[in-house]
Amino acid sequence: MYTAISVLIVIVCILLILIVLVQNSKGGGLASSFAASNQIMGVRKTTDFLEKATWTLAGAMLLLCVIAALAIPRDEVGGKSAIQEQVQNAPANQVIPSFTTQPQNNDNGTTSGGETTPTEEPQQ
């Protein structure tokens, strides 16, 4: 799929290059060969056709590039991502430590932060 889209992009690029090279910014180019006589298409109609062809090919190129970006083959190395492997290899029963909100008293009557508890303050 991606290869087919890439080939189409190359074909559109070549056609777009040819259409732009035929044009002349001052209204010449392919239209100048019809200036002497109005044959099948007039001078104005030739420039209109070239302009429409340019815009159509540019739009096709944009659309094909977006489709190609979505169709890029994304082969995973190793089959899985590193995060998925960590999740699957994690132990099933993990013990969550319990954190108490009550201060724990040391042997000398102070809490673990070094402060004395209000019930054990020395009275004077």
Backbone angles phi, psi at 14, to 5 degrees: -65, -45
First to last CA, the chain: 90
pLDDT band at 61 (very low <50, low <70, confident <90, very high): very high
pLDDT at 124 over 60: no
Q: Is 87 exposed, middle or buried (0-12, 13-18, 19+ CB in 10 A)?
A: exposed
pLDDT in tens, 44-54: 667 788 889 99
pTM of the model: 0.47
Which of 54-68, 69-83, 108-122 is modeled with the greatest confidence? 54-68
What per-residue confidence (pLDDT) applies to 113?
Answer: 53
